[in-house]
Amino acid sequence: MASKAVVGILIGCAVIAFIGAVVIIGGGWYVKHKVEQKIHEASKPTVAELWSDVPKMDGLQKSDMDLPIPIKLLAEPILDRTLGGGTHKGDWIVFTTKKSPEDVKNFYTNDRMTSYGHWDPSKNSTCLNGSSQGFAEVGLFCVFEKTEQTKQTGMMILTGTGKTTEPMTVFFFRVEGPRNNQSSPAPAPEQQPKKEITALNGTAPYGVEKRPMPAGLNLDELLPKQVGPYTRTRLEISTQRGVQPTAITIDGNSVYATYRAGDVEVFVEFAASSNAKNAQATLDTAAGETTGQFPTDPKYGSIGTEPSYLKVNNESGAFFAWTRGGYCWSANAKNGEAALDAFLQVFPY
């Protein structure tokens, strides 16, 4: 029997996205932020044509369009795995067609995929209707898996609804990685927050422990319009990019803010939790997803303390996340550590 690991990842992530838990599941808002950055940066398809083991339905026209928002929401959990430092790698491509979701389903059957590209057989259809899962903007999504001697591959096909006069979008996303029985480095254990949060013994980066304790849910106070020379140029709901929030909900969606000073840009994410332990669990998850485990050097991290913090500097830029009570912020500067330092020296919290 073929391994179900990859197809499990794909179906599980799709279902998570459908029910909306992709927003902040497991406190993974940092990876979500990094994924959305990568989606924004790499908005064009990564392959020129369909892979040789995938048949091309008649009427598919290659498109260089950006990913539609619903497709981004479905792709994010998968990209968490492929772009967030995991062992799987991913590619994708977009087409348009005048055909319907039902045509796509009837063409990309398990029998055809097995006979054409040696994809693992299945007696049951691996396609689901988007609207039946509560995601009306998606017409269909299908998942296929291939298990080989040293690797396994998963592929997801998503379509638009086909209910408009415009050609329907068809999105193909593929992930590949080693089989489960192939050796791969075991993830380092994450350090869990202490049962009782204690006062920080020492000094946090940027002296955040000496700053005023935040209060309330006023976004213009928690994410000021002006931070020193940096102007807040954009404020967005994390799940609705381009939509400005009027408020933030405790234990709800996070909020994105973009700050600019000249050619320097700093991307900030903010979330409010009902208690300090929830905020620290979010921070702990961010550490596990970025560095494998929470840093033991107090210059780079402290967990279970008030405040707790995490500092990372890598090829993606400079990143700092910190908590104050139930509040949690992260700031990321692609320009590097000096740009991040300049911004956080004047941020009020």
Query: 19 pLDDT exceeds 60?
Result: no
In this structure, the chain runs to a length of 349
Query: 79 pLDDT exceeds 80?
Result: no
Contact 94, 42 (CB under 8 A): no
Question: What mean pLDDT is reported for the chain?
Answer: 77
Domains detected in the chain: 5-178 (no CATH), 198-346 (3.40.1000.20)
Instruction: Give bridge partners of residue 158 from the DSSP assignment.
Output: 141, 171
Phi/psi at 307 (5° precision):
-80, 165
Neighbours of 1 (CB within 10 A): 5
Taking alpha carbons only, the member of 303, 302, 320 closest to residue 311 is 320
For residue 81, name the pLDDT band (cuts at 50, 70, 90): very low
Here the tokens at position 275 are 């208690």
Return the pLDDT at 22: 31
- 11 contact partners, CB below 8 Å, separation of at least 6: 126, 143
Query: 317 pLDDT exceeds 90?
Result: no
Return the pLDDT at 195: 63
Least confident of 178-187, 190-199, 222-231: 178-187
Taking alpha carbons only, the member of 248, 187, 277, 242 closest to residue 72 is 242
| pLDDT tens-place string over residues 28-51 | 444 444 444 444 444 445 688 898
Q: What average pLDDT does this structure show over 292-318?
A: 87
| pLDDT tens-place string over residues 231-269 | 999 999 876 777 899 889 888 878 989 999 999 999 999
Return the pLDDT at 155: 85
Q: What is the CA radius of gyration of the chain?
A: 22
Return the pLDDT at 85: 41
Here the tokens at position 151 are 């690797």
Return the pLDDT at 17: 39
- Dist CA 228 CA 250 (whole Å): 28
Phi/psi at 130 (5° precision):
-60, -45
- Dist CA 269 CA 267 (whole Å): 7
Q: What average pLDDT does this structure show over 328-342?
A: 92
Here the tokens at position 324 are 């104050």
Q: Report the interhelical angle of 69-83 vs 5-18 (nearest 10°).
A: 140
Of residues 213 and 90, more confidence is placed in: 213
Return the pLDDT at 72: 57
Burial 33-60 (b: 16+ CB within 10 A, else e): bbbbbbbeeeeebeeeebeeebeebebb
Return the pLDDT at 324: 96
Return the pLDDT at 67: 59
Contact 258, 238 (CB under 8 A): no
Provide the strand spans (E) within 35-167: 61-63, 89-97, 127-129, 140-147, 151-159
For residue 98, name the pLDDT band (cuts at 50, 70, 90): very high
Least confident of 4-8, 152-156, 230-234: 4-8
Q: What average pLDDT does this structure show over 77-90?
A: 48
Of residues 270 and 64, more confidence is placed in: 270
**Max avg pLDDT among 183-187, 210-214, 334-338:** 210-214
Query: 77 pLDDT exceeds 60?
Result: no
- Dist CA 297 CA 261 (whole Å): 31
Q: What average pLDDT does this structure show over 76-84?
A: 46
Q: For 263, how many CA atoms within 13 A lie in the half-sphere containing its CB?
A: 2
Query: 87 pLDDT exceeds 60?
Result: no
Query: 141 pLDDT exceeds 50?
Result: yes
